[in-house]
Amino acid sequence: MTALEASGRNAVPAVEKSTAGTRPAHPASDHPRRATARKWAEIALFVGPALALFLTFVVYPVVSAARYSMYKWNGVSQFSDAEFIGFDNYARALWGGSDPATHQAFRTAYTEPFWEALSHNFAIIFLSLAIQLPLALIVALTLNRKFRGRAFTRVVIFAPYVLSEVIAGTMWLIIFDPNGVATQWMRAIGLDMPAGGWFEDPTWGFWTVFFIITWKYVGLAIILFLAGLSGVSEDLQEAAAIDGASWWQIQWRINIPLIGPTIRIWAFLSIIGSIQLFDMVWVLNRGGTAGQYSTIASYMMEIGFFRSDWGYGSAIAVIMFFLSFVIALAYMATILRRDNAHPRKAA
């Protein structure tokens, strides 16, 4: 499948390009002022449309959400009639607010589900790095050789990632139905489904969903890693083999370090994706009847949209935005920094 391979190969140069960061040389000019004006005209021409779109569809909604989050607003009445309540919506989500009359009620009804949803996001981040990363690495290293049916294997591995979330989610709903295939297989080997059902069991629901998320997204990691590996010079591996390095030593000392930038980029995408995880948990059953596998995004949708608590929902959205933003910046500044600072070191 050439398209896939092509996209796989492209992934590496993309990483390299972002790490290269070379500055274009200033062309010598006899008319610096005219050149400056022209430069600005060029910038306006090329950046203008994109900037306008960005301001309209990214910045403006973010600012609006921040504004809505300061109001008590049911989404039905005119926003101009909504009551300004400052940071009360945030307080309700984060610790239940300081009003003793409602503190306890808010803690149980809002703070706990909020933190539960957030804890699921962080559990998914952690589990992705702890389970998906090694799994994807092992598969990628194993597949990183020429064999018959390589393209086909890659397509199969990548297929879940290409499937639409709604279709994949509906498929798993059928498989994990209380009377579905998964249950029959478990019964065939003498076990049973979790007591509350695959998705709705308070303990196991989250793990069923994590299994599906892994199934869905591990293909991306494998394809990225394979693309990275294809950029590792075979000379290095042959030289190491001549020097007597075992297969494991070659992987551990040569291949894995050399695809480090790819791994770090994947981890970045995975972390941000985990914070924003929504479609799959929503399709399965809106984060579970009791929030068994809720995420901060599904929680936002449930309360903001379906309960018409728009101010509070906006506050959750802003918290989610803030989290993604801070984590992305921190990751850029620390872990991705080495890739940016030493472009030569990148594979």
Partner 1 sequence: MANMRRAAAGAAIAASMALLAACSSSDPGDGGSSADASSSGGGSGDEPVTLTWWHNGVAGDTGENSLGDYWDQVAADFMADNPNVTIEIEQIQNEDLQRTRIPTALQSGDAPDLFQQWGGGEMAAQAEAGYLMDLSDTLSADIDRLGGGVAPWQVDGTTYGLPFQFAVEGIWYRPSLFEEAGIDAEPTTMDELADAVQKLKDAGINPIAVGAADGWPAAHWWYNFALRSCAQDVVASAGTSLDFSDPCWVDAGDQLQAFIDTEPFQPQFTSTVAQTGATSSAGMVANGDAAMELMGQWNYFVYEGFTDGSDEAIAALHEDLDWFPMPAVDGGAGDPSAAMGGGDGFSCYVDAPVECADFLAYIVSDDVQRGYAEAVGGLPVAPAAADAVTDPVLQKIATTTSSAAYVQLWMDTLLGPNVGGAMNDGIVNIFNGTGDAQGVVDAMIAAAATS
> Can you give the binding site for partner 1, defined by CB under 8 A?
72, 74-79, 81, 92, 101-102, 105-106, 108-110, 166-167, 169-170, 173-174, 177-180, 193, 196-200, 202, 282-283, 285-286, 289-290, 305-309, 312
Residue among 29 and 170 whose Cβ is closer to partner 1: 170
Q: What are phi and psi of 280, to 5 degrees?
A: -65, -50
- From the CB of 321, what's the least distance to partner 1, in Å? 22
- From the CB of 179, what's the least distance to partner 1, in Å? 5
- From the CB of 67, what's the least distance to partner 1, in Å? 15
* Amino acid occupying residue 245: A
The span from the CA of 117 to the CA of 267, in Å, is 21
The span from the CA of 141 to the CA of 139, in Å, is 6
Closest by CA position to 8, among listed 230, 157, 162: 230
Closest by CA position to 93, among listed 290, 294, 323, 316: 316
- From the CB of 341, what's the least distance to partner 1, in Å? 45
- From the CB of 185, what's the least distance to partner 1, in Å? 16
- From the CB of 166, what's the least distance to partner 1, in Å? 5
Sign of CA dihedral 264, 267, 271, 272: positive
The span from the CA of 196 to the CA of 204, in Å, is 8
Residue among 197 and 343 whose Cβ is closer to partner 1: 197
What is the DSSP track for 28-48?
A: P-S-HHHHHHHHHHHHHHHHH
Residue among 28 and 188 whose Cβ is closer to partner 1: 188
Burial class (CB in 10 A: 0-12, 13-18, 19+), 298: buried
* Amino acid occupying residue 264: R
- From the CB of 232, what's the least distance to partner 1, in Å? 42
Residue among 4 and 283 whose Cβ is closer to partner 1: 283
HEC string of 85-120 equals CCCHHHHHHHCCCCCHHHHHHHHHHHHHHHHHHHHH
Residue among 168 and 320 whose Cβ is closer to partner 1: 168
- From the CB of 41, what's the least distance to partner 1, in Å? 38
The span from the CA of 172 to the CA of 193, in Å, is 14
Q: Which residue is listed with tokens 């390589």?
A: 150
Residue among 113 and 228 whose Cβ is closer to partner 1: 113
Strand pairing of 83-84 and 71-72? antiparallel
Residue among 137 and 303 whose Cβ is closer to partner 1: 303
Residue among 110 and 206 whose Cβ is closer to partner 1: 110
